[in-house]
Amino acid sequence: MKTIICTSLALALTGSVAFAQDALPQQNNAWFTAAQAELDAKAAVQPNTNKAKNVIILISDGNGVGTNYATRLFDGQQNGNFGDEHVLPHEKFPFLALAKTYNVNAQTPDSAGTGTAMHSGVKTKAGVIGVDETLNRGDCSQVDGATVANASEIYTGMGKSVGVVSTARLTHATPASAYAHSADRNFEDNSGLPDGCAVPDIASQLIEAVKAGRVDVALGGGRRHFLPKEVKGEEGKGGKRTDGKNLIEDAKAAGIQYVYDDGTFGAARFDGSAPVLGLFEASHMQYEADRSGEPSLAEMTEAAIKALQGNENGFFLTVEAGRVDHANHAGNLARVVRDGVAFAEAVARADELTDDADTLIIVTADHEHAIAFSGYAGRGSDILGLSMKIDPAGTKALNEPNMAQDGKPYTTVTYLNGGGSILTEDQDWTGTRPTVSQEEATDLDYVQQALIPLSSETHSGEDVAIYAKGPFAHLMGGTVEQNYIFHVMHHAATAE
């Protein structure tokens, strides 16, 4: 009774009025009506409990919530908007969760351990592939006893076709975790193996997986790990192998189609009649901003789906935007977001080419980076440029940069560590922050200012988002361990 009297008295004193829900004074406000429309759409979503014929996981390496935010703003601003109101293709998916990305021995994770979590269903140590946490990194003798079944083995066991696509080297940590078992992610070719190691290198394992029918399409970079030192690839760069093996010639002799540029990619048969191995660079594929003579991630995704979809039992496809990670490591946001947009286009292409009724699509990241957003930027501040002041009388940011206490402007995005550090050894690690202009900050090659001096910017350990649609996508919710992603995919593919 006391509560009712006090509430009534407060309303009387403040002049507050109780409104019916259909007569709120803000009911015609555009933000209000848009949110109500979104609520109605989400309320109409029904769980899909069909068995998943196809499973696609798209992993943007290093694309945590912060990096994804930067990409969203960049893409929106490229389309003439403020950017923050923009919605990327995967952000339209109806189900969302957060993944805890740590490795069992690393608070801040490495991509071999995170890739194994997503492709095998178990968390493991940093730097190891397709094995559990009982293995000591680098010890080949422990691989057999620590081996866990990976995605290529599990899904071919269901009679499905398997595809692996990446803009990184195909032997790199994330794509390799879909088909390989290795005591160290760096065992990409035989030259890195320790003496007496009886476990084949990762490149050899990929070729054997394709020959055995466990991988039907593999598209990415990393040609150097398939060629001997004395043999040069299509760009004139020599291989890395010291065992004299030419794995590309072995693959072609086994009837595997080999493609290495736009022309051979366009001429290949992506109809399921023969496996396809694409190696488009000696190392990683080009950044999207620099791409020439090789397919985009969306084009590779489309080709893989077309090659795999003829299997009446369906397919599993893993797609990685590997170079988002590398641009973050370089502190080069301009290339991060362009590869981020290319990833979003691959997501949209995968969605367009498949049916929600029988295809589960998961979009996620393996980890985040040490990216930071500085100051109170007004709406429309160029995500690559300077942080501009908020306009108290309008919506668009003023054409006046925010200033730090050193009297200099700063960019909207910085990094907590990396090569762009404002601390330098020749200044006894004290340093003076350089003055940066809008023109400099928005240049393609600009390296964002950073705090801690490191040769390469690092991963960070915070959660990453998981976006899902299709059969059993509703099982994605809350905060989960990263290896849970595998279990949702496996459950959807085996549901009765």
The residues annotated with a catalytic role in the active site are: 111
| CA–CA gap between residue 179 and residue 152 (Å, rounded) | 5
Q: Give the tokens for residue 329.
A: 């490591």
Amino acid in position 435: T
Contacts from 259-267 at CB under 8 Å and sequence distance 24+?
Answer: 259/219, 260/223, 260/233, 260/234, 261/234, 261/293, 261/294, 262/293, 262/294, 262/295, 265/294, 265/295, 265/299, 265/303
Segments in 21-177 forming alpha helices (H): 30-43, 65-78, 111-120, 143-146, 151-157, 173-176
Per DSSP, helices labelled H in 405-465 are 438-441
* DSSP H/E element including 220: strand 217-221
DSSP secondary structure, 160-182, as one string:
-EEEEEEEEETTSHHHHTTT--B
> What 3-state class would DSSP assign to 51?
coil
DSSP 396: B
Degrees, nearest 5: CA angle 39-43-49: 140
Q: How many beta carbons lie within 10 A of that of residue 21, not counting itself?
A: 6
- Among all chains, which residue has been given the structure tokens 């002049």? 15
Is residue 258 classed as helix, strand or coil in its secondary structure?
strand
DSSP string, 447-460: PPPEEEE-SS--EE
The owner of tokens 């998981």 is 466
DSSP string of 269-286, one letter each residue: --SSSS-EEEE-SSSSPP
Which of the 8 DSSP states describes residue 106? Answer: B
3-state SS assignment for residue 475? helix
What is the DSSP annotation of 127-151?
T-BSB-TTSPTT-GGGHHHHB---H
Gyration radius of the chain over CA positions: 25
The span from the first CA to the last CA of the chain, in angstroms, equals 55
Backbone dihedral angles phi then psi of residue 158, each to the nearest 5 degrees: -90, 0
C-beta separation of 279 from 226 below 8 A: yes
In degrees, rounded to 5, the angle at the alpha carbon of residue 321 between the alpha carbons of residues 347 and 411 is 100
